[in-house]
Each structure stands twice: as C-alpha cells, then as structure tokens.
Chains A and B, each alone.
Chain A
Amino acid sequence: MNQRPEPARSQRALRRLILLLGAVVVLIIFSYGWNVTDIDFTVTQQPQRQENVASALSELLSPNIFEQDYEIQNTTQSFLMGCPTDYAAPETTPVDGQPYIEITPACGESGEIVTIRGYNFFPNSLARINWIATDGERRIRQVDNTQEDNFVTNGDGTFDVEIEIPRIRGTAGETHTIEAQGRFPVGLPRFSETAGIVAEKMVETIFLALIATTISIFPSAVLSFFAAHNLMRPVRIPLGNLLVAFILLPIGYWIGASLLSALATFALNVGSGGFSTAAAGLIVVVGAVVSNRRLNNPTVMLGRSLPRSILLTALIAAGTVTAIGLLGGLALLIDQVQADGIIGNITGFFGSLGELIELLLIPISGIIGAFALASIGGTLTRGALRQVTIPTSHLLGAGLGLLAGAILLGIVASIGMAAAWLGLLTPVIAAALASPLLPQLYRRFISNPVRPVGAQKSLLSILSWVGAVIAFIVTFSVLGLSQALVEGVLPPRDVAFTIAGFELPSYILKAMLIGAVIAGITGALQSTRANFGIGGVLYNITRTILNALRSIEPLIMGLVFVIWVGIGPFAGVLALALHSIASLGKLYSEQIETIDSGPIEALQSTGANRLQTIMYAVVPQIIPSYIAFTMYRWDINVRMSTIIGFVGGGGIGFLLQQQINLLRYRDAGVAVLAIAIVVSILDYASAAIRERYI
C-alpha cells in the first residue's frame, strides 16, 4: 500500500486561501462580463416589448407560404358623421340575392359604436368592414373588442357586428361610406409570391455554398500538403541549390511573363480561332509532354546529359503554357455557341473559364517560367555546387546569400508599400533571416563541447532570439516604420535610382541592402553545403497564412468582396471560398499528419518520384476523410451563405434582411422556415455521408 503523507495544516490552509482567492477572481471577471453585455431582465418584462415580440413571433410563425383566389362581394352604405336632429337614414332597398347592410344608428360621432347587419353574404366565409372617409382612403375597421380584421358570416349569409366610428378630426357633417366586403375562396390554395421568391433565393444560396466549396477543394488540397509537418519536415535541400533556385525564380518569372505568355496568347488565339486547329494542337502538345517517357532501360543510367535535360525542361514549360492557352481558346470558342437554357449555361460556364485563363495567362506563364528556370539552374549548378571546396562553399554562400537576401527583402518591402501595416513584414522577415546568425557564430567560434546538451540548446535558442530582435529593431528604425504605423501613411516613394526605365524607391533599396547584409553573413557562415530545412519553413509560412485567414469571419471577407465585385452572390462565393480554403486546408493537413508513413517509405524505395509517392501512398489514405470534411464544409457554407447576404453577399440573407427591415414578418417567416428545412436536410445528409466514409 502506498500511503500519502498527510499534508501539513498550514499547507491545507494555504490551499484553501488560494481556492478562495480564485473564486473571488472568477466572480469579479464574471460580473464584469455580465455588466458589459448589458444584461437586464426588467426589459424583458415590459408590457410593450412583450406585446411587440409576441406579435412579431406570431407573424414569423405564420409564414406567408400559401395564397388563394377569392370571389369578392362588396356593398356600401353612407354614414353621416355627427347626428343632426332631423337626419333621416337613407333607405335600403334590398334586392334579392344581392348583399346589403343596415347600419344602426345611421349617423354618429367619432368613437361611438355602431352596429352593422349584413344580409345575403357568402355563408360561413370571411368578411370585413372598411371605412371610407371623404379622402377616399380605405381603413379596415376591426370588429369591436377583437384584434381581428376579419370575421366569419353566419350559416344563412348574415352577420351582425359592432364597430367603433374612427376618430378622424374635422369630419363633423361629412358623409362617409361604410363598405362591407365578403370573400369566398375559389379554387385550391397555391404557393404565394413570397414563397416563389424565397425558393428561388434558396436555390441561389445552396449553389452559392456548393460553388464556394468546390472552388476551395483544389487549392486547399494543395495547401494541405504544405501544411502537413510529416510530409514537409524531412524536405531539406543544400543551401546552395536553394539559393540558386530562389535567385532564378524572379528572373524566370520575368522571362515566363514576357516570352512564354506571348506563346500562350498565340495558342489562345489559335484555339479560339477554330475547333479543329485547337483540338489538333492540343493533342500534339499533350502528346509531346506525355511522351516524356523515362527510358525503360534495364540498366541503371546515371547522369542524363545536361543539354538534353535542359531542353526537356524548356520544352515541357513551353508545351504546358501552349496547352493552357489552347484550352483557354477552346473554352472561349465554346462560348461563341449561341444557346439558351442548359446548353447556354454550359457554354457560359466554359466562356467564363476561358476568360479566367485569359486573365491569368501572364501570371501562369510567369510562374511556369520561374519554376522552369529554377529547375534548369538547379541542374546546371548541382554538380558544381557538390564539388566546390569548403572555403569556396562559404564564399559562394556569402555571394548567393547576398543576392537572395536582397531579392527576398526587396519583394517583401514592395508588398509593404501597399499598406502601412504590411510594412511590418520586412522587419519580421529580416528577423527570421537573422535568427540563425548568432547561434552560427557561437557554434563556430565559442562552442564549448563540455557544456551539457540541454544548456547548449537553450543558449542557442536565446542567441537566435537576440539576433532576431536586433535585426527587427534595426530594420524597423532604418525603414522609419514607426511613423508609418502611427499615421497610417505609406512609405515615401522617392526614387533612389532608375535602371532601364525601372524606378527603384529608396525604401526598397534600404530593405534590399539590409537583406543582402544579413543573408550574406548567414550564407557565409552556413556555406552552400549546409542542409537547409526548406520544408519546415514552407510549413510554417503555410500554417501562418491558413490560421490568419481562418480567424477572419466570412462576413467580414464578404464586406471587402462586395466592395470589389459589387453586391450579389459572386461576392458571397468569393468570401466563402476564401474562408473554406483556409479551413479545409487546416482540416485536410491534420488528416495527412495522421497517415501511416510506411507506404511512403515503400514507394520511395521503388524509385517513384515525389509526386507519384504522394499520389499512390498518401492520397488513397486521405481520400475518405477529405470527402467527409468537404461535405461538412458544404454544410457549414450553406449555413454561412444564409447570412452572407446581410452584408450584400447574395443568397437568401439579402431577402431576409429586406423583409425584416420592412417589418414584413410573415414573409420573413417563409425565409426562416426555408433556411431551417434546407440546413437540417443538409445536416442530416452530410452526417450520413461522413459516417459512411469515416
């Protein structure tokens, strides 16, 4: 048996005191919250408010779904306001079968009660009394002591109701008209106009959610691979190769955006020119790219010849942009088919895709060019980088680091010119670049092997933080960011110098110099041979972006997109899609992190490349949960899209908001009912599908 020693008396007292203090703190926090949220139950007891909420609720709960046609019978009788002594009531001459009314008395003052008897009305059906003053306006008179507009006639078509004479000023001596209106339903009830509009908007809402979800699937699936640490952490490449690739990226982008995009535009024009040309071209290009067969050679062949490999990369890049251009052209060509209905929708869809490709042609070509050039550069320099001596590798590290640092901070600083607070990115990135600096210096010059590993580790982490903070402060003050942050002004645009028509602001130049110095020193210390964990860096960047995006509510994103593309469902689609990308990216990546790594290892050992390994070892393992999460997200998006309309994002929310603002609660009730039905059906369906796959 293991007996716990009895705690000392003083210890128990102390524990109680801490508990008591904790309770007091909780009480203080909770009561503050109570006050901040204006909780006041006396308001709920006020009769006026209770009456308001009761009537609003009762209307909301009587949704205006159905309407019906009525046969209406009208009859009128004049009525004198104020009773002169010699007033003789007008005679009513009943005509057989025609409705008529008798009013007693036939004259009276405002506020008095008169009795109205009706004859020959539709039996057992609704009727109402209207008061028509000299202004010609019809006022429904509620039957005295009820809150109802309508009353029901007797079985023999008569009625006998009392109404109050309306209190209208300055009407003495005027002759008003009392109208009795009987209504008899004809035919079957049908859906009301409101129900029609609500149904239409509901369909729009569901598709808004569907399109937003489907748009987000592909980007979030791609991002999820970068946000999965089990896939990314092992990705390390020699620093030299990374720096070469990084330096070549912007150059490649520029070449791609100017040269390749010209090719792509040409292909687009060819494609939109004629179907047969486009189809033939597409087949040739796709065939050429696909026929890039790895040799089925039984012997191991090392060192594919350099020129061949470079030519191949260039050809693949050119082929890809040509194929994209041709596809875009084909899509635009399809759009030229004039049609209505379903075919019209389809051609319109392709046309829209074609326009999207046309719009993105330059960035796509640029990105393909960037990766092609980085790949070619990597192939060219790989051998050389592996063979350099150690001193040269440090020298090379300095040179490449200098260039890469300048490019990186230059790009970041130019982003910072868009908004004052984005300027903070520059010192943050500078700090990240500088963080390995001090630990490197320490390891190289002062490292003490006797020190225990734990202490060494914490010392290194302190050093990296110190370096980062210093770099942050230096960059912050050199760029003069404090003023920009306080005043919200953009950095000055004074030009440092101009190269070939390209103006370089001194702000960006300063950032580039800082980047060059920091990355140059870091590169020199690390050497081109050091293994750099690029995977971890990409992982952290992706995670940060996803988390930041996820924390912004779709409603707020909707506000911005409404400014961009105007009020309507398109803004809602964009807002929901952006939020879904962030949210699905996170959910997907967590699924990737739970997979069995065995098959990945197995496929790597067969000589499969990275993409094949992902397709065959990772994808089959994650498909079921991807389907489940996508369904779940669609479910959330339908719910979100019902209110995204409140900020102008289209869908049923826009209608609901209008109805509420116009106090048309019976119409609003229809919208609320439709939302409840659709959301619960989807809730059920998505749960059922998720159950099948998990």
Chain B
Amino acid sequence: MLIIENLTKVYENGFVALKNINLEIPDGQFVSIIGLSGSGKSTLLRCINRLIDPTEGRILWNGLDITAASDDELRQIRRRIGMIFQQFNLVRRSSVLTNVMSGRLGYVNPLLSLVNYFPRSEKERAFAALERVGIAEKAYNRASALSGGQQQRVGIARTLMQNPEMILADEPVASLDPATSHSVMKYLQLLNREDGLTVLCSLHFLSLARAYADRVIALKDGVLEFDGLPGEIDNERFKMIYGEDAVEVEIH
C-alpha cells in the first residue's frame, strides 16, 4: 500500500510542481497518471522514490515513511522500487548485460561490485530477466546498438533485477512508435498481472491508459484533477484535464 499525504513540491525557482496531493494506491494496482507536459507527472513519480525531495507532505509505503528515511534507509527502499524512463537512461557504451546487472547494485557486495565482480547466480538472474523481455541474445551487444523498443526492454530487465514490489514508469513509451509502445506496455502489464507488482505509469495518450490501467489519475498544474476508472473519463472530463482545445488521439 502506497499512501501519499499532502504532497507538495516547490522548486527552488519558486515553481509549484505539486499542490497538496493525496493518494492511496493498494498493492498490485496498475495506475496510469495522465496530464499535459509540466502538469507534475514526473515530479510525482520522482517524489515517490525521492529522486526529488518533496517540500511538504509524507509518503508511506508498506508502513515505511519514505520522506523521513536516511540515505542508507532510502537506498534499501529504492532497491524495491523499479523505475523506467522515457529516455531509457541506459549507459549507451556499456553492454546490455552490464546495464541489466547494474540494477542489482543495491543488493551485491558494494566493494566487489566496484571491480565489476558479480557472483554467477547474479549473472544467471540477469539472463533470466533478459529472457523474460525476449532479448537474451543481445546480452553482449552495446546498449547503443539496440532499437528504442529493445532499449526500453533492457530498462525493464534492469528493473527486474531489483526484484521490485513496485514499478514507477515515467512516460515509458513516449519515445517509441505505436507498435513498439504496445509491446512495452504489454511487458508492464505482464509484470503487473503475473508478479503482482504495483505499476505507476505516466502516459501521454489516454487511449493507452484506457487499454492498460486499472485506475487513472489526472494531474493539471500540479493539482489532482481526476482519480477514477479509465471508463469514467468522458469528453467533458477529457477537456477538463487537457484543456478546451484538446482532441483525443487514438493510438493503436
């Protein structure tokens, strides 16, 4: 259970990215966060694993106060929260395998990991993760040699190495073409259904949210504008979230 209480984020330049957000997300839910660019989707996701420190409010996860955790505690919490990024955030010069292994750094011996030593069991785990996203044969390629969709699958495999209980996905398909987008979304859905992971996924396209999410949260200028089932978003609500001039675009 993830509980967000009165979450507010004010950036140093005075920009208010999030205003008093309150949310309760039960384990195993697939939540989609929608909203315009700059509406606070990325900030909300990054506040949850404290890549961005919230200005006010509390975030409780399975009874742990994430906002109050010390550096050590925070690292232990982060191990269990995977994150997937719009730009994949792989080290392009490193091999796919190294990129995937780096997801395990929070677990392995810190000193040995610095000299690039991983036990055999961890290597097997990495191959299993690559197998799951269907690109085990690319393990020794450079990450930069892969296509966008493949790179995002490496990103998912890296997250799997964390053995996560929750996945934060920040616009995971915004840099991909529609067909690849669906394939990446299907992997997220698989993790949600088979492994029971909670997924928080910000999306540009409402059609993707309708197709995959159990629940949709809409942000507008840092304020929670809508929280409900995907089917409840009718034309009126859509215009409320995206503005009067917006037209819904389908992605197939």
Contact = CB atoms under 8 A, between A and B. Distances in A.
Contacts of A294: 106-110
Contacts of B111: 289-290, 292
Contacts of A617: 91, 102
A612 interface: yes
B123 to A, nearest CB: 15
A611 B114 CA distance: 8
A596 B151 CA distance: 16
A608 B91 contact: no
B76 A602 contact: no
A341 interface: no
Interface string A284-295: 000001111110
Which of A294, A304, A598, A611 neighbours the largest number of chain B CB atoms within 10 Å of its CB?
A: A294
A623 B168 CA distance: 31
Contacts of B62: 300
A607 B108 contact: no
Nearest to B13: A453
A453 B13 CA distance: 10
B244 to A, nearest CB: 31
A302 B113 contact: no
A449 to B, nearest CB: 12
| Residue from A291, A302, A617 having most chain B Cβ neighbours under 10 A | A302
Contacts of B23: none
A620 B96 CA distance: 13
Contacts of B113: 612, 615
A300 B80 contact: yes
A606 B105 CA distance: 7
B73 A453 contact: no
Interface residues of B, number: 49
A602 B83 contact: yes
A296 interface: yes
A607 B114 contact: no
Nearest to A386: B68
Interface string B75-95: 111111111010111111110
A536 to B, nearest CB: 13
Nearest to B65: A302
A304 B72 contact: yes
A606 B108 CA distance: 12
Interface in A551-610: 596, 598-599, 601-609
Taking chain A's interface residues, is the majority helix, strand, or loop, or is none over half, making it mixed? helix
A303 interface: yes
Contact of B109 (A290, A303, A615): A290
Contacts of B106: 294, 606-608
B1 interface: no
A360 to B, nearest CB: 22
A609 B75 contact: yes
Interface string B104-125: 1111111111100000000000
A513 B105 CA distance: 47
Interface string B167-181: 010000000000000
B152 to A, nearest CB: 12
Contacts of A623: 93
B165 to A, nearest CB: 9
B22 to A, nearest CB: 23
Given A294-B110, A599-B89, A612-B114, A605 B83 contact: yes
A606 B110 contact: no
Contacts of A97: none
A616 interface: yes
A598 B151 CA distance: 13
B51 interface: yes
Given A294-B108, A621-B91, A602 B98 contact: no
Contact of B73 (A303, A603, A615): A303
Contacts of A608: 75, 102, 105-106
A301 interface: yes
A302 B158 CA distance: 24
A453 B14 contact: yes
A382 interface: yes
B159 to A, nearest CB: 8
B154 to A, nearest CB: 11
Contact of A604 (B51, B88, B91, B112): B51
A427 B107 CA distance: 48
Interface in A122-157: none
B78 A602 contact: no
B102 A302 contact: no
A653 B111 CA distance: 45
Given A300-B80, A303-B73, A601 B89 contact: yes
Interface residues of A, number: 37
A302 B49 contact: no
B103 interface: yes
Interface string B1-34: 0000000000000100000000000000000000
B110 A300 contact: no
B108 A300 contact: no
A298 interface: yes
B69 A302 contact: yes
A298 B163 contact: yes
Contacts of A603: 102, 105
B80 to A, nearest CB: 6
A621 B106 CA distance: 21
Contacts of B87: 598
Contacts of A596: 92
Contacts of B79: 300, 606-607
B162 interface: yes
B64 interface: yes
Nearest to B69: A302
Contacts of A289: 111
A606 B162 contact: yes
Contacts of B90: 598-599, 602
Contacts of B159: 606
Contacts of A611: 110, 114
A625 to B, nearest CB: 11
B70 interface: yes
A606 B78 contact: yes
B221 to A, nearest CB: 20
Contacts of A298: 163
A298 B163 CA distance: 8
A233 to B, nearest CB: 11
A602 B110 contact: no
Q: Which of the listed residues B78, B82, B98, B158 has the most CB atoms from chain A within 10 Å of its own CB?
A: B78
A462 to B, nearest CB: 21
B55 to A, nearest CB: 12
Contacts of B93: 620-621, 623-624
B98 A616 contact: yes
Contacts of A609: 75, 105, 110
A304 B70 CA distance: 11
Contacts of B14: 453
A112 B105 CA distance: 97
A235 to B, nearest CB: 12
A251 B70 CA distance: 25
Contacts of B51: 601, 604-605
B102 to A, nearest CB: 5
Contacts of A382: 70
27 contacts: A289-B111, A293-B109, A300-B80, A301-B76, A302-B64, A302-B69, A302-B73, A453-B14, A596-B92, A599-B89, A599-B90, A601-B51, A603-B105, A605-B78, A605-B83, A605-B168, A606-B103, A607-B78, A607-B162, A608-B105, A609-B105, A611-B110, A612-B113, A616-B91, A620-B93, A620-B94, A624-B93
Given A606-B161, A611-B114, 13 more contacts: A290-B109, A300-B76, A302-B76, A599-B89, A604-B78, A605-B168, A606-B83, A607-B80, A607-B105, A608-B105, A615-B114, A617-B91, A623-B93
Interface of A: 289-294, 296, 298, 300-304, 382, 386, 453, 596, 598-599, 601-609, 611-612, 615-617, 620-621, 623-624
8 cross-chain pairs, A with B, having the tightest CB-CB distances, nearest first: A607-B106, A598-B89, A607-B79, A608-B105, A602-B89, A607-B78, A605-B83, A607-B75
